[in-house]
Structure 1
Amino acid sequence: MKKWLAYFQLMRLPAVFTAMSDIILGYLLTHGSIDLPLQFALLLVASASLYLSGMVFNDVFDRKVDAEERPFRPIPSGRISTQQAAVLGGLLMLAGVGAAQTVGKQSLIVAALLVIAILSYDMILKKTMLGPLMMGACRFLNVMLGASAVSREINLWVKPQLRIAAALGLFIVGLTWFARMEAKKSHRGHLVGGTLVINAGLGALVWMLATYPWPREINLSMVLAAVGVVVLTINRRLVQAILNPVPQNVQIAVRTMLSSYVMLNAILVFVWTANPQYAILTAALLIPTLILSRWMSVT
């Protein structure tokens, strides 16, 4: 059990459910319902595998830094060797690409772009100014992966999935910027900059909700109120971290944003489909996230 726990910690297992919420959203944006369960399940497998591989390779390439800042992590603590981690990351990446290829050519193309983005971030760009942008690109592509199971005659790169994926990607750009120094006392400039970008992404989503010609009638006031609660919850934690930028406050803010991200996807699912069951299915992904986060880190 200790070995399994070490592997789960290496993969940041609780956070994978946020990636799966992207697939539900993306799929429903192009299908309206889960009409092909096997196809949908393969996209979930593809997304989860690629996400987990990214987490594994993150620790493989960061093992020297983690030995100083996070010696408790599986690789620097010696519970998992670098070779074992690299093999696991490679197998997960192959599984993700294979599942996407089974769905179709467009899914394979998006998965291949996602692999390039993941490796570019983990190997080269993480410590640079382009790091947050590449992480946002990973989220953007993950939503588009969910939307990718459409015929060649349908243009994948159109609204609304393009706009929604871009807004969610912008939110993740800000989150990544905000979390860059979470292991030690953060610089307030980074936190303020990240907060501004986070709220730019949230603002783009609110603007879309208020102005986009959604295909079904919704109670817009109720939807905007729900989003308002999410926005206030996030910003409360952001402000606390800015005022006192110790690791604990920053990490709590990051966990809050990841949980809120799932709720944002659930709200968007409800707005697009007017189906509370799909929205509940998306929001329910918070349950394993919260349970598993008791034993392992989300970030």
Structure 2
Amino acid sequence: MGKSRIFAYLQLTRPANVITAIADIWAGFAVAGAWDYMVTDYAYGEQTFWWNLLWLSLSTIGLYAGGVAFNDVADAELDAIERPERPIPSGRVSKSKATVMSTALLAFGVICAAQVNWISAGLALAVAVLAVLYDYWGKHQSFLGPINMGLCRTGNLLLGISVAPEVLEKIWMIGLIPLIYVAAITMISRGEVHGKNRKALYFGGMMYGSIFLAIFAMAYIQGYRYLQVLPFLALLAYMIVPPLMKAIQTQEPKFIGKSVKAAVISLIIVNASIAAAFSGWPVGIIVLLLLPISLWLAKKFAVT
């Protein structure tokens, strides 16, 4: 397989976006308190933390890559008209081979999660089903579609928390944060091709605002950590607010696409903020280190 063919298959998986999914897992570990026990775990000669982090990181890579690749399989005919440069309509990847790759990646994601515990495996399977459901049905639903997409991210964050099932049982409601954030992105993204979706842009902006308030409130409940979260939230605002304002002003597909791209990449900052709220700023920084990797990949591969 030549380099150009490999590049085409990688394009299907949206590598920059995959990094944002890894951030979900790492933030989930922070919510579960797993990072707090990392040093103790290592001191006693155990490596449970690292194995669990590896398995769930690999799991989300498979789930996200498989899910977005299936999106291109489902959209092959439409892309032939609107985005003929994509791997499948351009003929660089056949639809049948893309289907096989997507299925294998989703299966890989579930198998990796099963190495941690059965709750993780169940959540991974749910994410896989939700991703395929969105690709073939959800994206065509004006109201349920954004919720469907948001649930994929919710499941991904909960997948990280599932490393500690007893914590997951108590704090599963935190999954509303990625649900609302991604639902907002999905709603805004519907103007990428034709534009003229000002109402969706305004409503998406309000949903972003609710995320800021929710993360700050969680950090405030944790005590002094609300001060540690503020720099992360400031960075998040810097990343997503200017592109959104430009999109609202112009309503042009080009600027709407830039707003969506910024919001997708900024999922890492959302996760870093959550990590800082539960485990302090050092863990938030660890999650944030994924941002330059995602930004670099975003220059090589399409995000949307």
Taking structure 2 as the reference length, the TM-score comes to 0.90
Q: 1:31 to 1:224 in 2, by over 3 A?
A: closer
Given the alignment of the two structures, is residue 261 of structure 1 paired with residue 267 of structure 2, yes or no?
yes
Gap runs ≥5 in structure 2: 42-48
- Equivalent residue of 1:293, what SS? helix
Given the alignment of the two structures, is residue 251 of structure 1 paired with residue 253 of structure 2, yes or no?
no
With 188-197 and 134-143 compared, the bigger mean Cα shift is at 188-197
Give the equivalent residue in structure 2 for 1:291. 296
Q: 1:26 to 1:226 in 2, by over 3 A?
A: closer
Give the equivalent residue in structure 1 for 2:46. none
- 8 Å CA contact 2:138–2:149 kept in 1: the answer is no
Q: Structure 2: how far apart are the matches of 1:235 and 1:281?
A: 24
Given the alignment of the two structures, is residue 9 of structure 1 paired with residue 11 of structure 2, yes or no?
yes
- 8 Å CA contact 1:70–1:183 kept in 2: the answer is no
With 232-241 and 141-150 compared, the bigger mean Cα shift is at 232-241
Residue 135 of structure 1 deviates from its aligned partner by 0.6
For 1:80-229, list aligned pairs within 5 A. Answer: 80-129=93-142, 130-151=144-165, 154=166, 156-159=168-171, 162-210=172-220, 212-214=221-223, 217-218=224-225, 220-229=226-235
1:233-255: per-residue Cα shift (whole Å, max 9, x none)? 42221111011121221111112
- Equivalent residue of 1:157, what SS? helix
Give the equivalent residue in structure 2 for 1:280. 285
Q: After the TM superposition, which parts of structure 1 deviate over 3 Å for at least 4 consecutive aligned residues?
A: none
- Equivalent residue of 1:126, what SS? helix
With 223-232 and 117-126 compared, the bigger mean Cα shift is at 223-232
Residue 105 of structure 1 deviates from its aligned partner by 0.8
Q: Structure 2: how far apart are the matches of 1:256 and 1:140?
A: 20
Q: Structure 2: how far apart are the matches of 1:49 and 1:79?
A: 22
Letter in 2 for 1:268: I
Aligned pairs, number? 290
- 8 Å CA contact 1:7–1:80 kept in 2: the answer is yes
For 1:224-243, list aligned pairs within 5 A. Answer: 224-243=230-249
Q: 1:274 to 1:172 in 2, by over 3 A?
A: same
Equivalent position to 1:76, from 63, 69, 89? 89
Residue 155 of structure 1 deviates from its aligned partner by 5.3
- 8 Å CA contact 2:215–2:274 kept in 1: the answer is no
Taking structure 1 as the reference length, the TM-score comes to 0.91
Q: Structure 2: how far apart are the matches of 1:269 and 1:176?
A: 24
For 1:53-68, list aligned pairs within 5 A. Answer: 53-68=66-81
Identical amino acids, percent of aligned pairs: 30
Residue 268 of structure 1 deviates from its aligned partner by 2.2
Q: 1:270 to 1:225 in 2, by over 3 A?
A: closer
